[in-house]
Amino acid sequence: MKVRSFALALLLTAVSVFAADVDGKWSGSISTPNGDFPVGFAFKAEGAKLTGTMEGMDGMNIPIADGKVDGANISFSVTLDFGGMPLVLNYKGVVSAAEIKLTGDAMGMPFELTVKKK
């Protein structure tokens, strides 16, 4: 019985070592044909669930939805409101100690960005 308990404790410790530390504030910019636009995120991981917000261009915080954490990989979506028309942005990313490399999709148009921890 002690061997099982020890093995379980070791396994749980190993899993937490491989989980990326996504918690905190991150910032970067998105390059577009109209210039670079600043973007910011605030993330909080609770097990495999990712919550947080994206800072919009107007400074408003937009909640993320469907946030997931799988080791160093994250995914989530954000819904922007353009005069009553919703625009869903889907993100996937890989978290390292100092940055997150994100790929996104807006209406079938892919984009990439890197955000750095503040």
- 3-state SS of the chain is CHHHHHHHHHHHHHHHHHCCCCCEEEEEEEEECCEEEEEEEEEEEECCEEEEEEECCCCCEEEEEEEEEECCEEEEEEEEEECCEEEEEEEEEEECCCEEEEEEEECCEEEEEEEEEC
pLDDT in tens, 40-59: 999 999 999 999 999 987 78
Answer yes or no: is pLDDT of 18 > 60. Answer: no
Fold of 2-117: Lipocalin (2.40.128)
pTM for this predicted structure: 0.80
Answer yes or no: is pLDDT of 13 > 90. Answer: no
